[in-house]
Each structure stands twice: as structure tokens, then as C-alpha cells.
Chains A and B, each alone.
Chain A
Amino acid sequence: MSISRPTKLILTFLALLAFAFIYIPLIVILINSFSTNKSLTWPPSGFTTEWWGRAVDSEGVRDALLTSVIVASAATAVALILGILVSLVIARYRFFGRESISLLIVLPISLPGIVTGIALNNVFTSYLGGLTFLTLVVAHATFCIVVVYNNALARLRRLGGNVEEASADLGAGGWTTFRLVTFPLMKSAIIAGGLLAFGLSFDEIIVTTFTAGPGITTLPIWIYQNLFRPNQAPIVNVVAAALILVSIIPIYVAQRFSSDTNKGGGIL
């Protein structure tokens, strides 16, 4: 279909507007982190790198960053194991209840975070003796499974079963086939899924506030606690700006590693 020139121009203009809408707030945060203003006042009256230095020196920020990295790593490890197992089952087996399983995996991210949050909070505090570091990891792993699963499943579907059958014909057992054939072929998709799971856990705030033990401060919790404190605004700006810059990395790596990340309509 030939699209007329005026239509093209209008569409280009609308697309530019949309990208402006998407990027202006992020750019504002980046600029604000260098602003000499101590509040969110715009435009900045001057520029300084002082806040970046203070943020790097801030013990609260560093502790929170470390906590976030540990939680995200642990949750990703669990999600990787469980996600790969389920993807193998869904891709290679046909059985009763298969559809329900794929629905069950998507459920933790499709239900409102606050529902997942208070549901887990209720069970942890009422029946399992209270919130700890472990409860936070369990909660995060639960909603991270889906991204590992989706990436691994997309890869398995694309591979088909032929190479595995060839391996079995050559006398390899199930485990040998997985170790020498399936896993190496899945590896880049697993890395992509793992990275996305890490990213998902790293900046989750809602489930986190309901399942983190007392005194456990992840980076989003730190931001949340300091958001409304006027004298902390400059440091919050820096942390926010740093998080925007860091969030580009998983996208870049995931895109490089997984040719089926753009599997068409797939978000996770």
C-alpha cells in the first residue's frame, strides 16, 4: 500500500511527539541530577557535580545498592532453575493441565502487585514467623520466573525437537542430550532471561515493601523512603539518574544475546 505523503508527514510528527513524551521525563531526571537547585524546581539555576559525589559517598545508597544486587541475584538464580524446568516441560510435553501451568506462571505479574504483596505478606507474617531476607527473595523469584520462562520457551519453540531426536538416535540419554545439545543452544536465551529477571527484581517496589524483613532496604525502598524528604531531593535525583543509565545495559545485552527477544508481540 502506498501511504500518501501528507499522511506520512503526520505520522512522523505524531511519532516524534510520542518519543518526546517518552524521553523528556527521563532527560529531565538526568539534568536535574546536575542541578544546583535543592528541590525539583525547573529550570535549573546552575550545574554542579556535587550531588553525584555525595551520592557515591552516601552509606545509605551504597548499602541499598548492595542489598538490591544480592536480592536480585538470589531471586534470579531461583527463577532460572524453575523457569528453565517449566519451559522444557511446556515446550516438549503434551499433557492435561498444560494451559493452566502457563497461565499460573504469568499470574504473578498480571495480578496487581499489591495483591501479590499482601497475599505473601499475610502468609509470611501469620503462618511462617515473620518477614526476613529470605521472604523477600522468595517473593521476587515468584514473579521473575515468567521472564526466564518466556525467553527459554521462545528459544525451545524455535529450535524444534529435531536436534534432540538426533541426539537420542545417537544413543544419548535425556540428561546427556540436555547437557550437550539443548542447554548450549538455549544458553543465550537463558542469559537474556536471567538479565531481564535481574532487572525486574532490581527495581521492584510494591511486592518488596510488603515482603522485605525489617531493616532490609533495597535501592527502590531507599528512594521511596527519601522521596518526600526535601533535603534528600538532590541525592534522590542522582540515584534516579544512575538507575536510568544502568537500565540501558540489560536491554542492550538482552538484545544482543537473544535474537528472539523481539519474538513479535512478546513483552517479557
Chain B
Amino acid sequence: MTTTTATHRGFWYRHPNLRLAGLLSAPMAWLVVVYLGSLAALFITAFWQVDDFTGQIVRTFTLENFQLVFTTPAYLTTVARTLGIALLVTLLCLVIALPLSFFMARVASRRWQPLLIAMVLTPLWASYLVKVYAWRAMLQPESGVLAWLIGPLGLESPGYGFIGIVITLTYLWLPYMILPVYAGFTRLPGSMLDASSDLGAKGWRTFRSVIVPMIFPSVVAGSIFTFSLSLGDYITAQIVGGKLQMLGNVVQQTYVSNLPFAAAVSTIPVVIVLLYLAAVRRSGALENL
């Protein structure tokens, strides 16, 4: 070994902070400059406006974009609808994920668990667009798969619209709920469930007083994904929503002609997600992501 490398090594060894800075500089430059920089620029743009005559962006501070969103009934309805869809999707994901995860973690034999997990993971990595497209085929009014499946029961396919959006988004984000909830169930110590039944609790009481409080952080972790991914989606509404719009559609339609307005609208889901994150931070859910 030559002396140069030795001194080199010594140098980095003696300066851990420089070593840290060296390792961090490239990723931080990328994430802070490219990503946070862009977000900041967008946020600032939300306070500018477009000149009606020239179509150019006027860089003076104004709250007009936000005023427009919050005083136009059509936009307010869209905000409410988007929130409603996101909440419904989260609830539906939970209703499907709870029994399924409990089954996978506690009822199915250990030998089957890896396969079951793989079966949940596979659709997660199937193309997003393909999954939405699949539901276009499922929901098609009259000649779709759903109509064919439930037609004999005297039911009609919901077709493209509110219910279609909710079902499709539930389908898209379901694995994000199943995985943390499943992990929560596997971490649940069996001794605790035994203790509960030793103390005389029946199944339902054990579920309510022991299981629910213990897997609550996992549920919250899953809900972060189902809720925030639903809030910002616009492609699903385009493909299976019929004429219905979500916030994302408003952003997508206005960003070319009126970027400041689109920027203002796009801050709404971000603020809601950040508020939600702040609210659930204390539950310890963020460590479960």
C-alpha cells in the first residue's frame, strides 16, 4: 500500500463530517434542487395569475386563484366529491383488508403464507393503467363483465361514474392496505389473544378490545396510501368516471392555459395529505410504512 492511499484513508477517517457530506451531496442536490425546488416554484406560482388578454403569467402576489376555487360551487363540489371518494375508498379497502389479512396471518397454514403474500403483491406491481383499463372492461354498462356476472341476480352494472371510480380506486390501492395490516396481525403476540380468552373474552370482545387497538397503527399506515393516492388521482376518473371529475382532472385541464390556477388547485390535496400525516404522526403509523 502506498503512502498516498494511507493518508487518504486517514483523512476521511479523521473527518467523518466531510465523509457524511460527500456521501450526501449528490442525493441531496438531486432531491432538494430538482424536487423540492420544483415544488416550491409551483407553490409560488399558485399566488401569481394569468393576464386575461396576453395569456402571460403575471408575477405579482394575489390570492385570486384560491378565492376562485373556494367561491365557485362547481369547484367546491369537486373538492367535496374528491374527499368523499378518498374516504370511501379507504373505508372499503379496510373492510376488505381486515378479514383477508387476518385470514392470511392467523387462519391459513404457515406453508401457504408466502404464496398468499405473493398473490397480494403481484397485482400491486401490475401496471396501474392496465388495472384501470381492466375495470373499464368490468364496468362497461350492459355488455361488461360485471353486468354479465350480476345481471342474472337482477342487478345492473353501476357503469362509469361515482361508484365506478370508488371500486376502481379501491382495487388499485387495496394491496397498500393489506400489507401493513397483515404485518400488524403477524406481529400480534398469540399469548395476548390467549390471555384475553383466558380472562373470559369471547371472539368479538377480543377483537374489539385487544386486536383493534394493537393493529390500529398498521391500519393508519395503510390508510395514508389509500387516502392520499385517491385524492390526487385523475386518470381513473378519466377512464371509468364518465363525466365526473376529481380535483386532479381540474388540475390537468387547466395547467396549460392557467398554470397559477392549476397550481392553486393542486395545493388542496397536498395540504389535506399533510394535515392527515400530521394528525396520524402520533399514532406511530409512520414507522409502519
Contacts and interface: CB of A to CB of B under 8 A. Distances in A.
A205 B117 contact: no
Chain A contact-residue range equals 35 or more
A193 interface: no
A88 B183 CA distance: 26
Chain B interface, >50% SS class: helix
A212 interface: no
A94 B168 CA distance: 43
Contacts of A244: 126-127, 130
B54 interface: no
B137 A29 contact: yes
Contacts of B224: 110
B232 A114 contact: yes
Given A1-B206, A106-B289, A110-B224, A122 B45 contact: yes
Nearest to A168: B13
Chain B contact-residue range equals 35 or more
B283 interface: no
Contact of A122 (B104, B184, B206, B259): B259
B143 A41 contact: yes
Contacts of B138: 24-25, 28
Contact of A1 (B16, B190, B221): B190
A112 B37 contact: no
A141 B83 CA distance: 30
A247 B114 CA distance: 18
Contact of A28 (B127, B134, B233, B235): B134
Given A11-B107, A42-B144, A175-B9, 18 more contacts: A1-B193, A14-B100, A18-B99, A40-B137, A41-B140, A41-B143, A43-B148, A93-B16, A112-B228, A118-B259, A118-B262, A122-B45, A142-B31, A224-B129, A252-B118, A255-B121, A262-B114, A266-B289
Interface of B: 5, 8-9, 12-13, 16, 19-20, 23-24, 26-28, 30-32, 34-39, 41-42, 45, 96-97, 99-100, 102-104, 106-108, 114, 117-131, 133-138, 140, 143-145, 147-148, 171, 174-176, 179-180, 183-184, 186-187, 190, 193-194, 196-197, 203, 206, 218, 221, 224-225, 228-229, 231-235, 239, 248, 251-252, 255, 259, 262-263, 266, 269-270, 273, 288-289
